[in-house]
Amino acid sequence: MVRPIVKYGAEVLHQPAQPVEEITGEVVQLARDMVETMYRAPGIGLAAPQVGVPLRIFVVDITLGHDPKGLITLVNPEWVEREGLQVEEEGCLSVPGFSASVARPQRVVVKGLDLEGREQTYEGQGLLARAFQHEMDHLDGKVYLDRLRGIRRSLLVRRIHKRIKAGTW
């Protein structure tokens, strides 16, 4: 089932998500819904808070569904390593219509549980590293705008608030 994606300003996007205590049928269904929602959007990643659920789960697929092995679902993910630097243009399904250059690690290693409760570890470089960091930020109550500074951030946030007030957000 495709779920609605919550937008910037929603409280669930601005507070840390809670750990998943047990991988139940509800958690598995949530993850499946997230995958369907991500592909429909279309996007390369989606965190549970983006569909209004404050749990530490994300899905990532930088192949946009073109490679079945490209789909990664992680429950309670944690950082193992982060290194290097890349600065690229980035957008977000919860901040539609906006993008900005964001500094992210060039290489990361993340671990977490799959939907069967087995620990999995993934290394990502480039776009995959960026996607992992982006989704982990969502689990920590941050959006990419929180990584911007100065006038760029102020302008984007002001434009979003203008849309919120106008009822077009």
Catalytic positions: 135
> Which pair of tokens denotes residue 57?
């789960």
Beta bridge partners of 113: 75, 119
> Which pair of tokens denotes residue 163?
């849309």
Taking alpha carbons only, the member of 4, 3, 2, 6 closest to residue 138 is 6
Q: What are phi and psi of 88, to 5 degrees?
A: -140, 160
CA distance 41 to 93: 7
107: helix, strand or coil: strand
CA distance 72 to 84: 22
According to DSSP, residue 22 is labeled: S
Neighbours of 14 (CB within 10 A): 13
